[in-house]
A and B are shown apart, each in its own frame.
Chain A
């Protein structure tokens, strides 16, 4: 019996290792290949580098362009998260806690936004942004991203705001607290965990967005990391090791952020998915 159990445990681990290899090998391959020369990549694809060549990585880290892309991505992600969460929190507040005619209509309007594929809107969005003069302007990316982030954020925040007992609000009103002050001084601080979750979701979505920055930014000064990665691949398409080093470095901020914000991210996604 014990032997059977041990065997089961062993095969269980074998299966997990296999799945783990499926996920990890491409990542490890990229990291190690970044230390090789492109010539060695062809002759020695799997082994460790004969000479650990750090020039690929250090060269990229010395590029101003790389850092600029990181800063652009970060700035746009923070701007997007701020706009999404601010607008959503205000809307979710009234949608959660006020009775007014048309409330469910407005809520439904926002939630059907979940079904609108970004790909559908991107072409007319481009025409619109061109008309507004928002091309090559970070607002041209931030505002649409915020708009497309509203549905999910409003759903999550409204769900959370509804869990705040009415007594809290009654007591606040009794003490002479107006609705703006209640929202600002009491509800938002209480909602900090939920706000954290939706901010993390907005940041990740913005950081990874490719379609919109690709269209909006012609001028390389504004390029974000995903666009930069694609351009870099086009430019150095034959220097495979260098391209791999570039994407490894591009992964680092995202993975670091994931390590820090794992809980909010996964909590938000699972809550968001089941609610939306």
Chain B
């Protein structure tokens, strides 16, 4: 969506005293500093200590927590699993969402109902979704086992979330169920902003449906695609609720994500210093990725809406 060019001729005259500006900014600024920025500073600070979370901050250990982190096979596995989910999201889930959006962008009876339905999972909380699918994939009793039997896939029975070889693909299916509708909505909004005439013109020039999609629709959808990719990646890096409720990272760490590791060490094993180091690494990855993406990928779309503040 284009920002309307209207703009904000500011009215400094008689209004712009620092005191009143400060008064308006104060609530947001205080909330933001205390609950968003301060915790990150605290995490950085705590990550240099060996500390159980209670009492005075423990021994200063410098970068030892970080050294331990990057030597930890499970944590390296966490990163690998994050990457796995990113790759699948971008190569499977997003094309699937785009495909659905293109279908629903056509004249079609009941289109509004499908749209409502496909988006509905996104409204449900991650926990409700996770419990629902835990039940579906329950070894022996769940619907998935029965379905596998009916399809002649007995080999899958009882595995799903319970086996290290199948747990990540199973989680990915649940993620797709939950999130593809959101991306579909973004794509639909993007598709609707493509002028009819452009597609008509391509038709007249003899472009078939696929050619129209490939050479007209897809390029014009570029900004939406780039935003979708960004949100998918950030989402995959930070994934917690779904996995925590469904597998808690198991079996045997095979579905652990960085956020799960952080939670395990911070709240279950009381290694708060170490868990803080995980937080900081997670933060650095998100920050570096975001800055890089904003700078090099989104720049042409947004004229820097996020990093440089939109309207100049």
Contact = CB atoms under 8 A, between A and B. Distances in A.
A binds B: yes
B24 A215 contact: no
A179 B125 contact: no
Contact of B125 (A150, A158, A226): A226
Interface string B68-90: 00000000000000000000000
A99 interface: yes
Interface on chain B toward A: helix, strand, loop, or mixed SS? helix
A23 to B, nearest CB: 6
A66 interface: no
Nearest to B51: A127
A229 B31 CA distance: 29
Contact of A94 (B24, B114, B146): B24
A24 B291 CA distance: 38
Given A42-B140, A254-B125, A276-B305, A244 B185 contact: no
Interface string A240-276: 1001100100110011011100100110011101111
A113 B309 contact: no
A159 B8 CA distance: 10
Contact of A240 (B119, B135, B312): B135
B160 interface: no
A128 B33 CA distance: 12
A221 to B, nearest CB: 19
A104 B309 contact: yes
B8 A208 contact: no
Contact of B43 (A123, A215, A227): A123
Contact of A125 (B35, B125, B140, B189): B35
A117 B106 contact: no
A218 B262 CA distance: 20
A162 B6 contact: yes
A70 B305 CA distance: 37
Contacts of A179: 15, 20
A270 B186 CA distance: 6
A117 B282 contact: yes
B307 A91 contact: no
Interface string B173-207: 00001000110011001000000000000000000
Given A120-B286, A163-B4, A170-B11, A226 B127 contact: yes
B42 interface: yes
A12 B138 contact: no
Interface in B77-133: 100, 103-104, 106, 108, 114, 116-121, 123-128, 131-133
A244 B1 contact: no
Given A19-B118, A91-B28, A208-B125, A247 B39 contact: no
A112 interface: yes
B95 to A, nearest CB: 13
Interface-centre pick from B43, B275, B291 (highest chain A CB count, 10 A): B43
Interface residues of B, number: 106
A172 to B, nearest CB: 10
Contacts of B290: 114-115
A12 B99 CA distance: 12
Contact of B282 (A109, A120, A183, A227): A120
B272 interface: yes
A1 interface: no
Contacts, number: 311
Contacts of B133: 26
Contacts of A113: 32, 36
Contact of B310 (A26, A99, A150, A159): A159
Nearest to A113: B36
B141 A163 contact: no
B234 interface: yes
Contacts of B41: 124
A71 interface: no
A88 interface: yes
B249 interface: no
Interface in B7-49: 7-12, 14-16, 18, 20-21, 24-25, 27-29, 31-32, 34-36, 38-43, 46
A259 B234 CA distance: 28
Contacts of B312: 104
B43 A99 contact: no
A116 B36 contact: yes
Interface stretch (A53-61, A139-147, A189-197): A139-147
Nearest 3 interchain pairs by C-beta = A147-B35, A124-B42, A208-B125
26 contacts: A15-B103, A23-B121, A30-B132, A83-B31, A87-B31, A90-B27, A91-B27, A94-B24, A98-B11, A100-B12, A106-B25, A112-B307, A116-B40, A117-B259, A120-B39, A123-B39, A123-B272, A127-B272, A210-B125, A230-B127, A230-B131, A251-B124, A265-B123, A270-B1, A271-B1, A275-B3
Interface of A: 12-13, 15-16, 19-20, 22-24, 26-27, 29-30, 33, 38, 41-42, 45-46, 83, 86-88, 90-91, 93-100, 104, 106-128, 143-144, 146-148, 150, 154-155, 158-159, 162-163, 165-166, 169-170, 173, 179, 183, 204, 207-211, 215, 225-227, 229-230, 233, 240, 243-244, 247, 250-251, 254-255, 257-259, 262, 265-266, 269-271, 273-276
